[in-house]
Amino acid sequence: MEVVALSLTAETESIDSEKWLFDYKLQEYKDCIPNLISRRQFNDRRKKTAGLCEELRKRVAMEMDGGEEQFFVDSKPIEVCRVARGKRCKMGRTGDFSQAPDFGFCASQNTYYFGYKLHALCWLCGVIHSYDLSKASAADLHYMKDVKHAYHDCSIYGDKGYIGADVQLDLFETAHIRLECPYRLNQKDWKPTFIPFAKARKRIETIFSQLTDQFLAIRNYAKIKNGLFARIIGKISALTILQYVNFINNKPIGRIKYALN
């Protein structure tokens, strides 16, 4: 629990460098933490307690559950290294090769990258309900195959990357899930985007912006995939904790910097 607490505290303070955390920041509180472990021990135990951190995040998120039946889904690129160094990257080259990073294309940024893709499903209130990591080359619709086993009788709203008549029909017939997406301009029976839907979808885009800006998800110092996965779990868990602090204090959940005051 102390390892998880230290990990979440570092993420909320935008500290993503373990070297700076132990060599400088924690030295100011050395007298208050007499049993402080070493940086190597923290790094090893952080990976081993990633599952515990995720279980705590789920419990906290369920405390903010308002019984909603509307969800938003989106994906975000998680870059491991520059594209030029992608073929030389050793992350994921040993063990289960299916979890190795890959080359992908981000349509919103119109750029190629090497790494993973973070898929997230959030409530209307702006709290992440579930998430997963996949190869960067995986299509967004592949994530919906896992969603139908965990959700039912709800509506999920996505962007144009989730358009697929076969997948939408399968979700509805299997779990009564309505997957709503805006039309493409060249689609038959084109209809304009419903304005309240477009505004509501900004919630999950705001969450991804917070993960990038305050929690520095765009940076990567991990050398192995387990270290990267533990970091992503820590960042999303820290975001959920700050949202819960605002929730119990009757403050806007999305304004996570209020929780730091």
pLDDT digits (tens, 9 = 90+) for 182-224: 877 666 776 666 667 777 788 888 999 999 999 998 888 888 8
Round to whole Å and give the CA distance between 38 and 43: 9
Catalogue the long-range contacts made by 187-196 (C-beta closer than 8 Å, 24 or more residues apart): 187/163
Two tokens at 35?
A: 């049993």
Q: What integer best gives the mean pLDDT of the chain?
A: 87
What proportion of the chain, given as a percentage, has pLDDT over 90?
A: 39
Would you call 105 helix, strand, or coil by DSSP? strand
DSSP notation for 153-207: SEEEE--GGG--HHHHHHHHHHH-EEEE-PPPTTSTT--PPPHHHHHHTHHHHHH
pLDDT of 2 strictly over 80: yes
pLDDT of 70 strictly over 70: yes
Q: Which residue has the higher pLDDT, 102 or 99?
A: 102
List strand residue ranges (DSSP E) for the chain, in order. 70-81, 102-106, 111-123, 128-135, 154-157, 177-180
The continuous run of DSSP H or E covering 242 comes out as: helix 225-248
Round to whole Å and give the CA distance between 72 and 179: 10
CB–CB of 177/171 below 8 Å?
yes
Q: Which residue has the higher pLDDT, 202 or 97?
A: 202
The continuous run of DSSP H or E covering 63 comes out as: helix 50-63
